């Protein structure tokens, strides 16, 4: 009998931060969660390569995910060089390279990786919208060289998949953002809800257009006396004068439009989602379905969203929410006035959107799809 022991080599999936640092919040987003779930479901060694921005307290929730923290570079050019040096040393362990976003910082890394590991697989998750991708010079030689080396290219909205499939000479797959449950979840009951309109993110960035939410609520606040707005997230410095001016002009709303600051404790943040009846997204653009949308959906929030690329996915084609034209304050205020006086919309929608999220926005299903795609795609142009 042959007693020779066969050593099974663990596959590795690596993700290199395209912009030097990953933050705590990003550990819980698709850029880091997808590599982690390759570990959870398929046993891959999952490694995130980043410089250190802060203490990574969320790492405790991602058992088995490794952070390889490199020295802080002087700039992005030096960071790219450091990552290439890392690949030169570790390429034999990198079976899959997961690229988050179409960033030029990935180009040299992937070129080197594919030269050293021609059998290696590259997944590119575009994390993009039509506006961004239409500005990309995809026929430029450096972009062509990079894109042609990607075995799988995914987008987060069906609208963008259709658009790029017509425009780009590459196969485009659909893989939306999703959510992950770290503990057994109980269904959010409508009885837990309060008259709260919630938004979560970096408050005050031009992209998030939070002033649209504030102004829309101001227009109808007298007709919705029991309702409040909560904005959760760090506040951009250049947005603070606007907030102060807004409250100086509308002092009666200081107790009804509430800024909580950033909430890092996941349990506390989940409770805020559970309490809210409406999740409002006023962005001018987003890279697919935002992660905050998925968190809101799994907690039974009715979605009111600007017409970003993935607005149909976000509202389940109008079954679980409403949409309004980007930057249209009046239209948003009219939606608030209509739906906030119709309790049946929220009572039904609370359960409908939870079921919708569970069926179509599960990371378990998405990473199984990605694992299947890297084993059946050729990466050639079509």
What is the model's pLDDT at position 113? 98
352 burial type by CB count under 10 A (0-12 exposed, 13-18 middle, 19+ buried): middle
Domains 12-177+363-374 and 190-360 share a fold: yes
Q: What is the pLDDT of residues 121-151, one digit of tens each?
A: 999 999 887 877 778 888 899 999 999 999 9
Q: pLDDT at position 8, please?
A: 57
Q: Which CATH superfamily is domain 190-360 in?
A: Glycogen Phosphorylase B; (3.40.50.2000)
At 196, is the secondary structure helix, strand, or coil?
strand
Give residue 242's pLDDT. Answer: 98
Phi first, then psi: give them for residue 248, nearest 5 degrees. -65, -35
Find out whether 144 and 117 touch, Cβ atoms under 8 Å.
no
DSSP state of 256: T
**First-to-final CA distance of the chain:** 50
Contact in structure between 282 and 212 (CB atoms under 8 Å): yes
* CB 355 within 8 Å of CB 185: no
Contact partners, residue 210, CB within 8 Å, separation at least 6:
199, 203, 204, 231, 239, 282
> How is residue 296 written in tokens?
């809101």
SS3 304: strand
Q: How far apart are CA 310 and CA 174, in angstroms?
A: 12
For 269-272, which contacts have Cβ atoms below 8 Å and span 24 or more sequence positions?
Answer: 269/200, 269/232, 269/295, 270/295, 270/299, 272/198, 272/200, 272/230, 272/232
Q: Which mean pLDDT values do the consecutive 10-residue runs of the chain (382 residues) have? A: 52 96 90 95 97 91 95 96 98 97 94 97 90 82 95 92 90 87 81 97 96 98 98 97 98 98 90 97 85 91 95 94 98 98 93 92 91 73 40
- For residue 155, the SS3 value is strand
Do residues 95 and 12 lie in contact, with contact meaning Cβ atoms separated by under 8 Å?
Answer: yes
Q: Distance between CA atoms of 268 and 257, rounded to whole angstroms? A: 19
Contact call for residues 246 and 190 (beta carbons, < 8 A): no
d(CA 296, CA 212): 19
**pLDDT for the residue numbered 2:** 46
For residue 142, what are the CA distances in angstroms to 62, 84, 138, 148?
35, 17, 8, 10
Q: Enumerate the domain spans of the chain.
A: 12-177+363-374, 190-360
What length is written for the chain? 382
What's the fold here for domain 12-177+363-374?
Answer: Rossmann fold (3.40.50)
Burial zone of 376 (CB within 10 Å; 0-12 exposed, 13-18 middle, 19+ buried): exposed
Supply the pLDDT for residue 264: 85
| Contact assessment for residue 277 and residue 197, using Cβ atoms and an 8 Å cutoff | yes
- Angle in degrees, CA 313, 318, 324, rounded to 5: 90
Task: Tell me if 16 sits within 8 A of 83, measured CB to CB.
Answer: yes
Q: Kindly state the greatest CA–CA separation across the chain.
A: 86
pTM above 0.85, yes or no: no
User: Which stretches of the chain are DSSP H helices?
Assistant: 24-27, 30-42, 76-90, 105-116, 130-134, 141-147, 158-167, 210-220, 240-249, 266-275, 291-298, 311-315, 329-339, 343-360, 363-374
């Amino acid at each position: 009998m042959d007693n020779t022991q066969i050593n099974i080599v663990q596959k590795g999936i690596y993700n290199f931060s395209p912009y030097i640092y990953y933050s705590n919040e990003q550990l819980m987003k698709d850029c880091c969660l997808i590599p982690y779930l390759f570990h959870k479901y398929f046993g891959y060694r999952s490694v995130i390569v980043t410089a250190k921005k802060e203490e990574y307290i969320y790492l405790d929730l991602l058992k088995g995910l490794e952070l390889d923290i490199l020295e802080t570079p002087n700039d992005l050019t030096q960071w790219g060089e450091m990552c290439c040096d890392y690949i030169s040393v570790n390429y034999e362990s990198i079976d899959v390279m997961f690229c988050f976003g179409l960033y030029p910082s990935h180009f040299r890394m992937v070129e080197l990786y594919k030269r050293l590991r021609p059998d290696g697989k590259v997944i590119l998750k575009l994390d993009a919208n039509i506006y961004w991708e239409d500005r990309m010079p995809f026929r430029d030689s450096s972009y062509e060289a990079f894109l042609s080396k990607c075995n799988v290219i995914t987008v987060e909205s069906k609208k963008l998949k259709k658009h790029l499939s017509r425009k780009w000479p590459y196969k485009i797959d659909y893989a939306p953002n999703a959510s992950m449950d770290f503990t057994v979840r109980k269904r959010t009951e409508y009885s837990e809800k309060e008259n709260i309109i919630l938004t979560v993110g970096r408050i005050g960035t031009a992209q998030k257009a939070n002033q649209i939410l504030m102004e829309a609520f101001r227009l109808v606040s007298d007709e919705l006396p029991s309702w409040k707005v909560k904005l959760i997230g760090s506040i951009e410095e250049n947005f603070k004068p606007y907030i102060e001016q807004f409250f100086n002009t509308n002092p009666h709303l200081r107790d009804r439009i509430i800024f909580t600051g950033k909430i890092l404790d996941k349990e506390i943040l989940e409770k805020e989602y559970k309490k809210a009846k409406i999740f409002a997204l006023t962005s001018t653009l987003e890279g697919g379905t935002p992660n905050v949308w998925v968190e809101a959906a799994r907690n039974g929030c009715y979605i009111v969203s600007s017409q970003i690329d993935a607005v149909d996915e976000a509202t389940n084609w109008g079954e679980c929410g409403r949409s309004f034209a980007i930057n249209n304050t009046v239209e948003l205020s009219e939606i608030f006035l209509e739906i906030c006086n119709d309790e049946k919309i929220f009572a039904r929608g609370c359960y409908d959107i939870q079921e919708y999220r569970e069926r179509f926005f599960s990371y378990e299903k998405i990473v199984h799809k990605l694992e299947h795609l890297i084993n059946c795609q050729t990466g050639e142009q079509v």
